[in-house]
Amino acid sequence: MASMIRKSLDDPEETRPVADGMGQVELVNLEAGPVGRATFLPGWKWSDHVKPIAKTDSCQASHTGYTISGRIKVVMDDGEELEFGPGDFGVIPPGHDAWVLGDEPYVFIDWQGMADYAKPKE
């Protein structure tokens, strides 16, 4: 019989900062892969604060998750745009840029795209 698992994003197993102190990703690891809580501060933009870490032209992670607070705008490489806010569930395919809207931090729980997100390339 499988055992229950309890982990807390308030006591993460790994924390990855983004450039200029504009946020961080806190991770807990499960057999199916990491689950992360991303917190991005007002003024954060993927192309400014994660692109230097990822070394790709746009975010190549596929995200599946839930917005806790704040607002973010996502623009796909093909020009499709969508905003996410509190209570929104989202699926965001690879190939996008994103930035925080307004003056509230954006907090997102992601259970698909965190394995290599904001992880420095070797």
What range does the domain containing 83 cover? Answer: 15-110
Q: What is the predicted pLDDT for the residue at 115? A: 87
Whether residue 5 is contained in a domain is answered as no
pLDDT tens, residue by residue, 84-120: 999 999 999 999 999 999 999 999 999 998 888 888 8
Whether residue 120 is contained in a domain is answered as no
Residue 89: half-sphere exposure toward Cβ, Cα within 13 Å: 2
More confident call, 74 vs 121: 74
Domain count, the chain: 1
pLDDT tens, residue by residue, 29-86: 998 899 999 999 999 999 999 999 999 999 999 999 999 999 999 999 999 999 999 9
Q: What is the predicted pLDDT for the residue at 107? A: 98
Whether residue 1 is contained in a domain is answered as no
Residues forming beta bridges with residue 109, ordered by sequence position: 37, 66
Whether residue 3 is contained in a domain is answered as no
Whether residue 73 is contained in a domain is answered as yes
CA–CA separation, 69 and 106 (whole Å):
6
Whether residue 97 is contained in a domain is answered as yes
Q: What is the predicted pLDDT for the residue at 122? A: 66
What does each C-alpha distance from 48 to 17, 34, 45, 103, 118 come to in angstroms? 13, 24, 5, 17, 12
User: What's this model's pTM, rounded to 2 decimal places?
Assistant: 0.93
Strand order in the sheet with 23-30: 14-17, 23-30, 33-40, 106-110, 63-69, 89-92
Q: What is the CATH number of the domain that holds 94?
A: 2.60.120.10
Whether residue 116 is contained in a domain is answered as no
Whether residue 49 is contained in a domain is answered as yes
